[in-house]
């Protein structure tokens, strides 16, 4: 648990990094290069070392509002360290200022783990792995060739036999290095195996909920970032409509009303995401005592946050153009990056299934199934 002073210290560091990221966010988005420099900035800031849950969530939002790509990388870094701890394996050490990424897309069970002397070998290809190519360490999941169990382990990201496809070419989140990873008989020492994924364990099943929470926090951050930059443009550049009867856009009642609605929605989504974060933290702290009912309540809270945050992110990043005016569509401003990032990341998995889970829990008490997404 980090003290209030300690949390504020890290928030100040995050805000300083965010200010630096905003300066050339549009240019870096256009280049779409591997985010090695961005990960270097995270490492130099010390933010990778934060181990307090609530501080991690707050910092992810601050950084993500300035640059959704870097917030994505940072949020997933914290997630990989946290989910590794769910195995309660004494061999796992997060390391000092080490950047972690994951290779574990649940619908892409393409990695095979074969026993060899002293451990295993892993072979296959994963289609998506955010941040893996610029990571120091990886958390990887693969299928045991003999038992068909899902096994999770860690690897040096530069280990022999690992290659990165560099094939991420999507319209948004262009600086997250979310492309494919190929494993060619990569050695996995036995002491790097975190353990099998027990499909019946409420505690281990929290990993999937952690991914959903990070996404919800990032969606809120995208809305917050779009509103912040749009507001700056409106204050300095947007001209009032000639029928408004006012001499500046910041006095136009329609502009003010629209900002009010969008800001209120973003704040509501943020509070809901933070509530879900608290629920997941409490569930995680329950350890092996976590019950299925407690897990189901946590899942419903996170799904609720994701449903709302998805709607808010997509709506806000689109509607800010109405508040800035036609000239704001000039490529140099790159306001479209907020919408492209939101539209890309909110398609991670169908939000309609999250709404169904919330509805079923509310109406019948039905528990969300233990899957890689719920």
Q: What is the pTM of this model?
A: 0.96
279 falls within a domain: yes
pLDDT at 20 over 80: yes
CATH of the domain at 129: 2.40.110.10
User: What is the model's pLDDT at position 109?
Assistant: 76
User: What is the model's pLDDT at position 15?
Assistant: 98
pLDDT at 108 over 80: no
93 falls within a domain: no
Same domain for 234 and 345? yes
CATH of the domain at 295: 1.20.140.10
46 falls within a domain: yes
Tell me the C-alpha distance between 29 and 333, whole Å: 11
Over residues 116-142, the pLDDT tens digits come to 999 999 999 999 999 999 999 999 999
User: What is the model's pLDDT at position 121?
Assistant: 97
Over residues 346-362, the pLDDT tens digits come to 999 999 999 999 999 99
Same domain for 221 and 360? yes
371 falls within a domain: no
pLDDT (average), residues 167-190: 96
Same domain for 107 and 250? no
User: What is the model's pLDDT at position 113?
Assistant: 96
pLDDT (average), residues 321-325: 94
Of 161, 196, 231, which one is at a domain's C-terminal end?
Answer: 196
Same domain for 234 and 338? yes
Same domain for 20 and 76? yes
Over residues 240-266, the pLDDT tens digits come to 999 999 999 999 999 999 999 999 999
> What residues contact residue 364 under an 8 Å CB cut-off, 6+ apart?
none
pLDDT at 1 over 70: no
Of 31, 59, 85, which one is at a domain's C-terminal end?
Answer: 85
CB 198 within 8 A of CB 150: no
Same domain for 161 and 247? no
Over residues 72-101, the pLDDT tens digits come to 999 999 999 999 999 989 889 999 999 999
User: What is the model's pLDDT at position 110?
Assistant: 87
Same domain for 280 and 337? yes
Same domain for 72 and 165? no
40 falls within a domain: yes
Same domain for 215 and 303? yes
Over residues 271-281, the pLDDT tens digits come to 999 999 999 99
Tell me the C-alpha distance between 108 and 112, whole Å: 11
What is the extent of the structural domain holding 62? Answer: 4-85
Same domain for 188 and 223? no
User: What is the model's pLDDT at position 235?
Assistant: 97
CATH of the domain at 53: 1.10.540.10
Tell me the C-alpha distance between 299 and 243, whole Å: 49
167 falls within a domain: yes
Tell me the C-alpha distance between 236 and 325, whole Å: 12
374 falls within a domain: no
176 falls within a domain: yes
Of 24, 59, 85, which one is at a domain's C-terminal end?
Answer: 85
Q: Per residue in 210-240, is it b (16+ CB within 10 Å) or e — as a string?
A: bbbbbbbbbbbbbbbbbbebbbebbeeebeb
Question: Into how many domains does the chain fold?
Answer: 3
Same domain for 291 and 344? yes
pLDDT at 4 over 90: no
With the C-alpha atoms ordered 316, 317, 320, 326, is the resulting torsion angle positive or negative? negative
Across the chain, mean pLDDT equals 96
Same domain for 327 and 242? yes
Percent over 70 (pLDDT), the chain: 100
């Amino acid at each position: 648990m980090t003290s209030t002073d300690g949390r504020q210290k890290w928030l100040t560091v995050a805000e300083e990094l965010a200010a630096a990221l905003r300066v050339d966010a549009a240019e870096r988005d256009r280049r779409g290069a591997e985010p090695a420099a961005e990960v270097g900035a995270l490492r130099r800031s010390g933010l990778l070392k934060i181990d307090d849950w609530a501080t991690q969530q707050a910092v992810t939002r601050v950084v993500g509002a300035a640059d959704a790509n870097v917030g994505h990388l940072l949020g997933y870094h914290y997630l990989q360290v946290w989910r590794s701890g769910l195995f309660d394996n004494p061999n796992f050490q997060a390391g000092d200022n080490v950047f972690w990424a994951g290779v574990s897309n649940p619908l892409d069970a393409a990695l095979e783990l074969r026993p060899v002397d002293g451990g295993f070998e892993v072979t296959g290809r994963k289609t998506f792995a955010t941040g893996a190519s610029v990571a120091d360490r990886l958390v990887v999941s693969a299928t045991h060739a003999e038992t068909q169990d899902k096994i999770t382990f860690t690897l040096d990201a530069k280990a022999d036999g690992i290659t990165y496809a560099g094939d991420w070419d999507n319209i948004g989140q262009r600086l997250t290095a979310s492309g494919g990873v190929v494993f060619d008989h990569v050695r996995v020492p036995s002491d790097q195996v975190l353990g099998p994924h027990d499909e019946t364990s409420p505690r281990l099943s929290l990993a999937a909920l952690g991914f959903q929470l990070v996404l919800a926090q990032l969606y809120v951050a995208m809305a917050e970032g779009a509103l912040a930059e749009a507001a700056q443009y409106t204050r300095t550049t947007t001209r009032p409509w000639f029928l408004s009867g006012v001499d500046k856009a910041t006095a136009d009642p329609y502009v003010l009303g629209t900002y009010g609605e969008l800001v209120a929605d973003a704040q509501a989504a943020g509070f809901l995401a933070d509530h879900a974060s608290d629920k997941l933290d409490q569930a995680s702290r329950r350890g092996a005592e976590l019950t299925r009912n407690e897990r189901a309540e946590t899942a419903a809270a996170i799904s609720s946050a994701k449903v709302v945050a998805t709607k808010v992110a997509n709506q806000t990043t689109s509607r800010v153009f109405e508040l800035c005016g036609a000239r704001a569509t000039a490529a140099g401003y790159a306001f479209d990056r907020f919408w492209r990032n939101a539209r890309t990341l909110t398609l991670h998995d169908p939000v309609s299934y999250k709404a169904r889970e919330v509805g079923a829990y509310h109406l019948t008490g039905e528990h969300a199934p233990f899957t890689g997404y719920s």
